[in-house]
């Protein structure tokens, strides 16, 4: 029986406790305490033949935050990260509907002056889980510094691939960004100085938004209407750049039936629908008019190979688009190693150059 004041979190139990242990958060059992007031209930589903390890490795970074949010949807679990004088505008509906995944948060610095630049946060989660609070927990210093240095900040949510396959996710992200652009005067930031910062699947979506923005890909926009916003720069943390190149070379042909994150995103295996994989790959849209990219990648990333970021940088360089690639030595797919002083300096040098 579920204890009072406890929340249920349903996940697939597919041998991923070692990932949770490595984060020093909790290990999965049938009933595992993760917070004093929360218990993680694991529902075992017969999905072992459908889900592989990569699904878990990409999707888990925000699970702890997601579990916390289940009990109180309207409570911001990352509020303590921000400076105490930050002005919060929470759960703004950007699509004119009541979907919980069509909400965004705005964080305004108290001493920013007139119309500060805006940094838009795009969370990760394998395109199939997490929310607009995800990834902030291990990037606390960077998030706090964004506000302290006078930048406005917004975090957007989008539908998951398990309920709304591609191109729904990129449509949501573009619609959220267009809302932020059109309502800049209302909330008090400069709509002509917008940067995207995305993590993993969010890095993919941020890159896809920015690189396709000067193309006419009408399927990426609600009502097939191209938005008005322009993106000044992108900070991409280990986002997949070429979905066909995400396929393991040693994977047996039978793996085309495995429900990988890419298969959920596209609604079909990239091997069987290479046309969709190409449409959904950021590298497809690179040209000389694209915004500058700062790319940060873990050397030992077990989910998004470092070659993805190296390839993105190479394609941008070939197109004469300004970019910088930082490979963090020994770093896995996510974690506090990305919140280092070195990376923070690189990030704010980059943002100061292209936004201020």
Would the pLDDT of 199 be above 80?
A: yes
Half-sphere exposure of 174 (CA within 13 A, CB side): 27
Backbone angles phi, psi at 118, to 5 degrees: -120, 130
Token pair 């009072």: residue: 4
Confidence label for 113 from pLDDT (cuts 50, 70 and 90): confident
Confidence label for 17 from pLDDT (cuts 50, 70 and 90): very low
Quick check: bond before 167 cis, omega within 30?
yes
The first and second tokens of residue 15, run together, are: 């041998």
The first and second tokens of residue 38, run together, are: 């929360």
- For the stretch 213-255, pLDDT in tens is 999 899 999 999 999 999 999 999 999 999 999 986 665 666 5
The first and second tokens of residue 242, run together, are: 């070429």
**DSSP class of residue 189?**
S
Nearest to 200 by CA among 241, 164, 169, 160: 241
Query: Looking at the DSSP assignment, which residues form a beta bridge with residue 12?
Result: 43
Residue 111's pLDDT is: 80
- For the stretch 171-187, pLDDT in tens is 999 999 999 999 999 99
**Full-model pTM:** 0.81
Nearest to 105 by CA among 149, 69, 56, 141: 69
**Mean pLDDT calculated for residue range 104-129:** 94
Give the C-alpha separation, 302 to 323, whole Å: 24
Calculate what percentage of the chain has a pLDDT beyond 90. Answer: 72
- For the stretch 38-86, pLDDT in tens is 333 333 333 333 334 444 444 444 444 444 444 445 689 999 999 999 9
SS (H, E, C) 211-223: HHCCCCCHHHCHH
- Assess contact for 40 and 67: CB atoms under 8 A: yes
Give the C-alpha separation, 229 to 49, whole Å: 43
Spell out a b/e string for 237-276, using b for 16 or more CB atoms within 10 Å of the CB, else e.
bbbbbbbebbbeeeeeeeeeebbbbbbbbbebbbeebbeb
Give the C-alpha separation, 118 to 255, whole Å: 42
Would the pLDDT of 303 be above 60?
A: yes
In terms of DSSP bridges, do strands 152-156 and 194-199 run parallel, antiparallel, or are they unpaired?
Answer: unpaired
Instruction: Provide the mean pLDDT of the chain.
Output: 83
Nearest to 277 by CA among 293, 261, 298, 291: 261
Segment (H or E) for 194: strand 194-199
- For the stretch 312-344, pLDDT in tens is 999 999 999 999 999 999 999 999 999 999 999
- For the stretch 258-270, pLDDT in tens is 668 999 999 998 9
Q: What is the DSSP string of 89-150?
A: EEEEESSSS--TTSEEEEEE-TT--SS--EEEEE--STTTS--TTTT-TT-HHHHHHHHHTT
- For the stretch 201-211, pLDDT in tens is 999 999 999 99
């Amino acid at each position: 029986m579920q204890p009072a004041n406890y929340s249920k979190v349903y996940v697939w139990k597919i041998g991923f406790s070692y990932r949770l242990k490595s984060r020093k958060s909790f290990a999965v059992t049938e009933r595992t305490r993760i917070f004093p007031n929360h218990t993680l209930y694991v529902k075992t589903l017969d999905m072992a033949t459908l889900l592989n390890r990569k699904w878990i490795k990409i999707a888990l970074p925000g699970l702890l935050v997601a579990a916390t949010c289940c009990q109180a949807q309207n409570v911001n679990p990352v509020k303590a990260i921000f400076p105490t004088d930050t002005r919060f505008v929470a759960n703004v509906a950007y699509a004119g509907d009541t979907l919980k995944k069509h909400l965004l948060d705005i964080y305004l610095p108290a001493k920013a002056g007139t119309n500060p630049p805006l940094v838009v946060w795009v969370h990760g989660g394998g395109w199939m889980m997490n929310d607009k609070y995800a990834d902030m927990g291990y990037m606390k210093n960077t998030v706090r510094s964004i506000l302290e240095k006078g930048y406005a900040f917004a975090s957007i949510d989008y539908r998951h691939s398990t309920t709304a396959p591609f191109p729904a996710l990129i449509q949501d992200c573009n619609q959220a960004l267009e809302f932020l652009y059109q309502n800049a005067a209302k909330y008090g930031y400069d709509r002509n100085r917008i940067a995207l910062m995305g993590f993993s699947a969010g890095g993919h979506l941020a890159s896809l938004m920015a690189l396709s923005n000067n193309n006419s890909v009408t399927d990426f926009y609600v009502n097939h209407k191209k938005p008005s916003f322009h993106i000044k720069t992108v900070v991409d943390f280990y986002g997949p750049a070429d979905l066909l190149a995400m396929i393991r070379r040693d994977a047996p042909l039978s793996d085309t039936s495995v429900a990988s994150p890419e298969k959920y995103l596209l609604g079909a295996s990239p091997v069987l629908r290479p046309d969709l994989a190409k449409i959904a790959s950021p590298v497809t849209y690179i040209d000389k008019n694209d915004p500058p990219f700062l790319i940060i990648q873990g050397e030992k990333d077990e989910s998004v190979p470092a070659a993805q970021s190296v390839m993105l940088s190479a394609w941008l360089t070939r197109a004469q688009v300004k970019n910088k690639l930082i490979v963090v030595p020994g770093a896995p797919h996510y974690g506090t190693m990305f919140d280092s002083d070195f990376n923070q300096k690189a990030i704010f040098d980059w943002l100061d150059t292209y936004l201020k």
